[in-house]
């Protein structure tokens, strides 16, 4: 994925771990930020939203910090094309 930073990409599928890296200090944060900046469309499973919020909740020290991170995440989430998850999708994921 290192070449992604040098090229514009049309869309990028983002999992929960990448989204969490966008908001906290992490060795891969710059790669996540650059990749997302270059993409015109961000896609993520609808499950990513509660997963990211739960992860951010566990990583913070106080309510104010949590509120700041959640606010930033919600602002970004408005730009995410959500892939809906239903029972059929969940069943296939366990196969």
pTM: 0.80
- Please state, in angstroms and rounded to a whole number, the distance separating the CA atoms of residues 61 and 38: 32
| pLDDT (average), residues 43-60 | 93
Q: Residue 78 pLDDT > 90, yes or no?
A: yes
pLDDT value at residue 89: 81
Residue 6 DSSP symbol: G
Q: Which two tokens stand for residue 47?
A: 């499950």
Find where tokens 């961000």 sit. Answer: 42
Higher pLDDT, 6 or 24: 24
pLDDT value at residue 7: 62
pLDDT value at residue 1: 47
Phi, psi of 39 (to 5 degrees): -85, 140
Q: Is 82 exposed, middle or buried (0-12, 13-18, 19+ CB in 10 A)?
A: middle
Q: Residue 75 pLDDT > 80, yes or no?
A: yes
């Amino acid at each position: 994925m290192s070449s992604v930073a040098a090229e514009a990409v049309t869309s990028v599928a983002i999992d929960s771990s990448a989204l969490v890296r966008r908001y906290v200090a992490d060795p891969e944060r710059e790669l996540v930020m650059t990749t997302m900046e270059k993409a015109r469309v961000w896609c993520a499973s609808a499950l990513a939203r509660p997963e990211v919020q739960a992860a951010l909740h566990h990583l913070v020290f106080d309510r104010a910090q949590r509120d700041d991170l959640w606010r930033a995440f919600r602002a970004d989430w408005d730009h995410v094309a959500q892939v809906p998850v239903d029972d059929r999708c969940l069943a296939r994921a366990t196969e």
